[in-house]
Amino acid sequence: MKTYLFASLFSLAGAIAGCSKSAPPPAAPTPAPEAAAPAPAPAPEPTVAAAPPEPPPAPAAPAEPAIPPYTPAAEVPEPIRAAVAAADRTDKDRALDAGRKPAEVLAFFKIAPGQKVAELFAASGYTTELIARVVGESGKVYAQNPKEVLERVRGPLTERTTKPGLGNIVILEPGDALLPPEAKNLDAVICVLNYHDFVWQKVDRAKLNKAVLAALKPGGVYGIVDHAAAKGSGLRDVETLHRIDEDTVKQEITAAGFKLDGETDVLANPSDPHDWNASPRAAAEKRGTSDRFTLRFVKPGKAPGKVNKSPKKRA
């Protein structure tokens, strides 16, 4: 029994001893992997203001009006044809040629090289320049304007005198006399599309026409072009429509001592109803189409010429 007890005790001690041995610590739990930090949100793109819409293209500049073709009549003298064809004339002037037929008009007024000519109410000098080209360096052109008109056109008129060969233009300063004392024995005095203006500007036309007569040499030409008013209308339309009755002009100028020497229908337009304003601004696209009369008056007396002397007979 002792043996049995001893064995039991021994077995119990072994068990206790076995239990007393330290068991290996359990493995530390593997920490759960830390969740990856979320990636930072991408920085927002900087806000860029929307570009303003492209402005619409600027409207194209209006094209320069085409210059109407103009060819002087075959019978026009060469000096006048050359003046009209001069390369340094402006397009603005050339655009008026077809409607004004300057070559035929100057030929009708007998403008020629070497002459001395005055233009009344020359305005900015469209016709003045052509006359100056025709008369050449040996001639002279006096450009006359009322004071208020000269104040407006002095610049462009003066500019014309700077062109080669046009130093023969003399711009007259307004004064008591229509023409200066040196403007005498003239070959021609012309007034293109402006005689009616003298009327509504209250110019003493009887005095004016007498002054022209005195300035011309015998046989000298007084040339008039103007917009025709209705027959029998007299002076009625000079300011409202810028027209004048042709018969009234004839009466006034012949009363000053001139003789009517010729008239041409080169600028006539029978289809014109004579009821619209013919001034350049008011006429607009009708400019150059009005019915116009063209009259040539002369100062009585034979133009001086060369004296043909008969050879003396031998005694």
Q: Give the pLDDT score at 307.
A: 39
CA–CA separation, 228 vs 275, rounded Å? 10
**Mean pLDDT, residues 260-287:** 96
Confidence of residue 237 (pLDDT cuts 50, 70, 90): very high
Relative to beta strand 116-119, strand 140-143 is parallel
CA–CA separation, 168 vs 42, rounded Å? 85
Q: Give the pLDDT score at 52.
A: 66
Q: Give the pLDDT score at 59.
A: 63
Note the pLDDT tens digit of each residue in 38-77.
Answer: 556 665 565 555 666 676 666 665 555 689 999 999 999 9
The CA distances from residue 159 to 63, 64, 133, 182, in Å, are 25, 22, 15, 23
pTM of the model: 0.77
Judge whether 112 and 186 are in contact, CB under 8 Å: no
Instruction: Give me the torsion for CA of 276, 282, 285, 288, rounded to 10°.
Output: 70
Tell me the average pLDDT of the chain. 86
Judge whether 83 and 134 are in contact, CB under 8 Å: yes
Confidence of residue 29 (pLDDT cuts 50, 70, 90): low
CATH fit for domain 92-298, picks 3.20.20.140, 1.10.3720.10, 3.40.50.150, 3.40.50.1000: 3.40.50.150
